[in-house]
Amino acid sequence: MSAPDVEPFLRIEGVSKSFGTFQAVKNVNLSVSKGEIFALLGGSGCGKTTLLRMLAGFEEPTSGQIFLDGRDMANVPPWQRPVHMMFQSYALFPHMTVAANVGYGLKHEKSLSKEGRAARVAEMLDLVQLTQFAHRKPHQISGGQRQRVALARALARQPKLLLLDEPLAALDKKLREHTQFELMSIQERTGVTFIVVTHDQEEAMTLSDRIAVMDKGEVKQIGSPTEIYEFPQSKFVAGFIGSVNSFEARVISRDKGHLRLDVPALGGEILARDVAGAAEGQKVSLAVRPEKMRITKDRPDTPNAVAGHVKDLAYFGKDSLYRVILPGGLVQAHAVNARRGDEGAFMADWDDEVWVSFDPSSAIVLVD
Amino acid sequence: MSQSRFQRWFDLKGWSALLIGAPYIWLLVWFLLPFLIVVAMSVATNTPTAPPFSFGGEHPWVNWEPFSRVLTDGLYLRAFLTSVVNAFVAMIFCLLLGYPMALGLTRVSTNWRNILLMLVILPFWTSFLLRVYAWMGLMGKNSWFNGLLTDSWNFLVPMSWAMKSVPMMHTNFAVVLVMVYTYLPFMILPLYASLERLDPTLDEAAMDLGSRPYQVFWDVTLPQSIPGIVAGGMLVFIPAAGELVIPSLVGNAAQPMIGKIIQDEFGQARDWPMASAVAVALLILMVIPTMIYSHYQAKAERLK
Amino acid sequence: MKRSPTFLITVMCFGFAFFYIPILSMIVYSFNASRLATVWGGFSTKWYVSLVSNDAVVNALFLSLKIALVSATFATILGTMAGITLARFTKFRGRTLFSGLVVAPLIMPEVITGISMLVFFILMADWVGWPGQRGFTTITLAHITFSMVFVTTIIQARMIQSDRAIEEAAMDLGSRPWQVMFDITLPVISPAILSGWLLAFTISLDDVVISSFVTGPGSTTLPLLIWSKVKLGVTPDINALATLMVLTVGIGVFAAGMIMSRTERRRQLDAQMAFRSDD
C-alpha cells in the first residue's frame, strides 16, 4: 500500500520545533492518507513524540504548517481538534470508572443525548471487549485492559486522526503480539487514520502501512516496511532497522546495472546493485543483512563469496546466528536451520572452514 | 564465632525492645499519664485545697457538674461557637487563597518553584509570636496600613460613613486575618504535595478529549486533590480552634475563644476540674474532624 | 502546557505580598527613631543598641538557646527511635497505642498539653518531692515530649521511602541488627535526622503557650519575654528584636536551601553523566 495521488488527509509542511536553543524537530514534511496506519519510528530524543504532540495541539510548531482534512491546524487548541490521543501511560482518570473514562469526551458532544452517550460507551466497550468491567476503576483492571480502555476512550468521539504514543510499550511480550493484531483489526473496522509513535522497529513494521524513520529531529526515510528494510537510503536507517554488516568500499566501475566495488574487509571485488549517485572512485558503504548471507561448505558459484572460519554461533532453534572470521574482519550471518537429513543440509560448527556468499541484489550501497 | 547468651538475647530481642521501649515509655510517662490526670480531673470536685481538687466529699468519685456546665452555661457555648466559627472561616479563606497558590506553584518553572516554595516555608521557621506581632503593627490605628485602608474606605463610601480609622484590632476579623496569615502555609503545603503528584498527562488527556482548561480543572484536578484539601483543612482548623496566642493579642476580650477560657478557669479561677472538663470537650470536638481526616486518608491509601 | 494563567499569577503575587508585607513593614519600623512604634520619625538604630545592652533580653535568649539545644537533641534521639520503630516493626504488642501516642501531641491543643504537664509536675512535687522548682528542667522535658513527635513524623516518612533491601543486604553480609542501624539506616536517613533536629530546635525556640504553663520564677525564655511585652502593645525595641530574629532565620534557611538545591543539581548532573556513559 502506498499513498494515493490525491490531496493527502494529513499534510505536515516544513514543520520545525525548538525548545530554547534545542531543535527537537527539523523541517519535517509528511503526508498521510485517510485510513492509513502510519508509524513514526526512532530512538529516544529523535523528535517523534514532539511531532505527535504538535499534531495533538499540546505544542505549537516554531515554523511550518499542519493541515488535517484540508484545514490549517495552527491556533486550534487541543480541545477543538478532531484528533485524539492514546497516551503512553494511558492517562486514565483514576477517580472515574472505566465507563466514565470512555464517555468523558462524549460529554462535549452537545448533539448527543444521554441515551446516545450511554449507547456509544456500550458500543466502544464492546469493541474492546470490556463490557463486564464498565464499573471498575482503572486501578482494578490489568495493564492490557487499561490499554484497551485508553483506546476506547480515544476512539469514542470518532476522531479523524488517532495518535498512539508507544501503544504497546507497557505490555509484556506475549500480550504485545496479541494486541498488535487487535489494534490492526480495530483500525480496519473503524477506518480511523492511525499515527503510531514507537521506538520498536518490529512493532512499526508489523503494525503500519508506512513508516517514517526519524533521527535527531529529521525524517530520514519514508516508505513501506519492505522499502525501509530492503532499500534503506542511509547508514542510519540500515543500522536502525534490523542488524546489518557494514563495510567500507570504493566504486571501481559502474556497468550493466551493477556496481563493481573494492571492499578490503571482504578481501577484494564485490558486485552490488546499482544506486543513483554512485560515481567511479567514490567512497561508499556496503551493507548486507545477516540473513542475506549464505554459509556453505564449498565455494558457491556466485560472484560474491569469501572464505572464512566460524568463530561463534548462537543456536536459536529455528535458525542460528554465525560470526565468521574473514581475512579482513568479522561478519554476521543468520541462517535458517535446515531439516536434518535434507539433501545438502549443512550446519556449520565452531571452527569449521566455510564460504560466506551473498547475491549482488542483496548488497546495498549507501552513498552518504 | 562464639557469642555470649547476652549477645544473642540482645541481638534478637533486647535491641528492638530498647528501640521501641525508650520512646514508648517516654510518651507514656510525659504525655499519656498527664493527659489521663486531666481527664480524671474533669470529673473531680473543686476544693479550696492545694492542689485545688479532690475526689470524694459531696460528690464521691464522679462529679458530672463541670460537664453539665459546659453544655448549659452560655459562656462556654459561646466560646465554643466563636472558636469553631473563627477556625472555620479562617480555614475557608486559607483554602480560597492557598489553592490557587499551590496550583500556581505546580505550574511555574522548576527554578521559580524552588524559590517560591522556600518563601512559603520560610515563615514556618520564623517565630509564630512575631508573625502575629507583625500584624499588630499593621492593624493599629496609626499605622500606614490602617491609614491606607481608611483612606480608600473614605474615598469609596458616602461622607456620612467616613471613619477616622478602620477598627481592626480586638475584633474577630483580626483573629481570622491573623489565623489565615499564620496557618496559610499549613494549607498550601499539603495541597501542593497532592497537586504536584498529579500526572500532567491526565490534564492533556482531558484537553485532548475536548475539555477547556477550566473544565479540566473541575473534572480532573479538583476531584483528585480532595485528599489534599481535607488534609490542609484539618491542619488549619484543628490548631486554629484551640488557638490561645492570636485571640489574646488581637482578639476581642468580650468574645473569648475556648483556649482562653481554659487558661482562665485554670489560672485565675483556679477551678481545675472545670478547666479540665472544657479541655476534654474541646478534644472531643477535635476528634470528629480528625476521624473524618483519617477516614479520607485510609480511603486514599486503598486507592493506591 | 506549562503556561500558568494570569489568574494564578495574580493570586500568587497577592499571596506572597500578604506573607511578606507585614514582616517588611516590621523591619522598616525597627529603624524608626520615634518612640511611637507606628509613626515614622526618621531613621535610627538606637533600638538595636538598647537591645544588646538589655540584660533581660540577652539572658532570655541564652536560656532559650540552652533549652532548645538540649531538648532538640533528646527529641531527635527519641523521635528517631520511634520513627524507625514504626516504619520497621509492623507487629509488636501495643503498636496501636504507640502510633496513637505519636500522633496525639500533634493535634492536642497547646493549652491542654501545657495544663496537663503543669498539673503533672505539681502533683509529682507533692508526691515525690520533685521537681522542687519549675524552670529549665520542666520546660526542657515538656519541649522534648511535644517536639519528638514532629521528628518521628519526618523520620517515619523518610524510612518508608528508603529501600529495605539495603538493610537486608547488610544483615546478609553478617551485620547484627544494631550494627545495621548504625552502619546503614542512620547514615541513609541522616538528612532527615538533621531536618528533624532543626525542626525540634525551632519548635522549642518558638514555643510560648506550653512554656508559659511549665515555667517557674526566674526562668523567662525569649518568647515568654516577648509575649509579656507584646501583650502591652507594639514597641520599637520588639520591632528591632523581631527583625534580628527574622533575618537570622531567613538567612539561615535561605543558605540551607541554596546549598541543598546546589547539591541536588550536582547530583542530577552526575546522574546524567553516568547515564550518558552507559550508552
Q: How far is B58 from chain C (nearest CA, A)?
A: 23
A60 confidence band (pLDDT: 50, 70, 90): very high
CA–CA gap between residue B255 and residue A166 (Å, rounded)? 64
B60 confidence band (pLDDT: 50, 70, 90): low
Residues in chain C with CB shorter than 8 Å from the CB of B239 are 109
CA–CA gap between residue A216 and residue A17 (Å, rounded)? 12
Average pLDDT over residues C188-213: 92
Domain boundaries, chain A: 10-239, 243-366
CA–CA gap between residue A245 and residue A298 (Å, rounded)? 22
Residues in chain A with CB shorter than 8 Å from the CB of B109 are none
Residue A24 has pLDDT above 50, yes or no: yes
Residue B72 has pLDDT above 80, yes or no: yes
Residues in chain B with CB shorter than 8 Å from the CB of C181 are 19
pLDDT of residue A344: 57
Q: How far is B200 from chain A (nearest CA, A)?
A: 9
Residues in chain B with CB shorter than 8 Å from the CB of A85 are 204-205, 208
The neighbouring-strand residues paired with A356 are: A295, A306
C110 touches chain B (CB under 8 A): yes
Q: Which CATH class is domain C55-231?
A: mainly alpha
Q: A30-34, A334-338, B175-179: which range is least confident on average?
A: A334-338
CA–CA gap between residue A124 and residue A152 (Å, rounded)? 6
Q: Which chains touch B (3 or more CB pairs under 8 A)?
A: A, C
CB contact under 8 A, A139 and B304: yes
Average pLDDT over residues A288-313: 88
Question: CB pairs below 8 Å between B and C: how many?
Answer: 254
C262 confidence band (pLDDT: 50, 70, 90): confident
| CATH 2.40.50.140 is held by the domain A243-366 | yes
Tell which wins on pLDDT, B275 or C234.
B275
Residue A124 has pLDDT above 90, yes or no: yes
pLDDT of residue A7: 75
- Which chain B residue has its CA at the smallest distance from C210's CA? B244
Q: C28-42, C47-61, C199-213: which range is least confident on average?
A: C28-42
Cβ of B273: how many Cβ atoms within 10 Å? 26
CA–CA gap between residue A329 and residue B303 (Å, rounded)? 59
Pairing status of strand B53-54 against strand B45-46 = antiparallel
Let me know: does C140 contact C207? Beta carbons within 8 Å.
no
Residues in chain C with CB shorter than 8 Å from the CB of B181 are 18-19, 22
Helix axes C6-29, B74-107, angle to 10 degrees: 120
B32 touches chain C (CB under 8 A): yes
Residue B59 has pLDDT above 70, yes or no: no
Q: A332-341, B104-113, B198-207, B228-237: which range is least confident on average?
A: A332-341
Residues in chain B with CB shorter than 8 Å from the CB of A104 are 206, 209, 211, 219
Instruction: Measure Cα distances from A54 to A31, A74, A115, A196, B199 in Å.
Output: 15, 10, 34, 14, 20
pLDDT in tens, A181-200: 889 999 999 999 999 999 99
- Out of A79, A81, A95, name the one closest to residue B212 (CB): A79
pLDDT of residue B12: 76
pLDDT of residue C211: 95
Residues in A whose CB is inside 8 Å of some CB of B read: 56-58, 77-81, 83-85, 87, 89, 91-95, 104-105, 108-109, 137, 139, 153-154, 157
Q: How far is A181 from chain B (nearest CA, A)?
A: 25
CA–CA gap between residue B266 and residue C113 (Å, rounded)? 13
Assigned C-alpha cell, C251? 538567612
CA–CA gap between residue C66 and residue C58 (Å, rounded)? 12
Name, in order, each residue with C-beta under 8 angstroms of A7's C-beta and a sequence gap of 6 or more: A70
CB contact under 8 A, C119 and B37: yes
Q: What region does C64 belong to: left with phi over 0, alpha with psi -120 to 50, or beta?
A: alpha
- Which chain B residue has its CA at the smallest distance from C126's CA? B51
CB contact under 8 A, A84 and B209: yes
CB contact under 8 A, B26 and C145: yes
Residues in chain A with CB shorter than 8 Å from the CB of B206 are 93, 104
A343 confidence band (pLDDT: 50, 70, 90): low
Mean pLDDT across chain B: 89
Instruction: Identify which of B81-95, B254-268, C238-252 has the greatest average pLDDT.
Output: B81-95
Average pLDDT over residues B110-122: 87
pLDDT in tens, B252-303: 989 999 999 999 999 888 899 999 999 999 999 888 877 877 777 777 676 6
pLDDT of residue A346: 72
Residue A203 has pLDDT above 50, yes or no: yes
Percentage of the residues of chain A whose pLDDT score is greater than 90? 49
Give the 3-state secondary structure of residue A13.
strand
Residue B42 has phi, psi (to 5 degrees) of -65, -15
- Which chain C residue has its CA at the smallest distance from B102's CA? C12
The strand ranges marked E within B42-104 are: 45-46, 53-54
Exposed (0-12), middle (13-18) or buried (19+): which is A277, by Cβ within 10 Å? exposed
Domain boundaries, chain C: 24-53, 55-231
pLDDT in tens, C47-101: 888 888 888 899 999 999 999 999 999 999 999 999 999 998 888 888 889 999 9
Please count the residues of chain C: 279
Closest to B250 in 3D by CA, of B126, B86, B127, B125: B86
CATH of region B73-303, choose from 3.90.230.10, 1.10.260.40, 1.10.3720.10, 1.10.1740.10: 1.10.3720.10
pLDDT of residue A26: 94
Average pLDDT over residues B158-181: 89
Q: Which chains touch A (3 or more CB pairs under 8 A)?
A: B
- Which chain B residue has its CA at the smallest distance from C80's CA? B23
Assigned C-alpha cell, A313? 554461533
CB contact under 8 A, B224 and A85: no
CB contact under 8 A, B209 and A153: yes
Residues 215-254 of C with CB under 8 A from B: 223, 226-227, 230-231, 233-234, 238-239, 242, 245-246, 249-250, 252-254
Task: Report the run of H or E that residue A272 belongs to, with start and end.
Answer: strand A268-273
Q: A162-166, B32-36, C32-36, C167-171: which range is least confident on average?
A: C32-36
pLDDT in tens, A308-333: 889 888 888 888 889 999 887 888 88
> What is the value of ipTM here, to two decimals?
0.90
CB contact under 8 A, A79 and B220: no
CB contact under 8 A, B114 and C92: no
- Which chain C residue has its CA at the smallest distance from B7's CA? C176
CATH topology of domain A10-239: Rossmann fold (3.40.50)
The neighbouring-strand residues paired with C215 are: none
Instruction: Measure Cα distances from C227 to C49, C59, C69, C115 in Å.
Output: 21, 15, 21, 18
Tell which wins on pLDDT, B124 or A285.
A285
Give CA A92 to chain center in angstroms. Answer: 26
Mutate to test the interface with C, among B101, B111, B263 (most CBs of C within 10 A): B101
pLDDT in tens, C85-141: 999 888 888 888 999 999 889 888 999 999 999 999 999 998 888 888 888 999 999
- Which chain B residue has its CA at the smallest distance from C177's CA? B11
Mutate to test the interface with A, among B111, B209, B224, B301 (most CBs of A within 10 A): B209
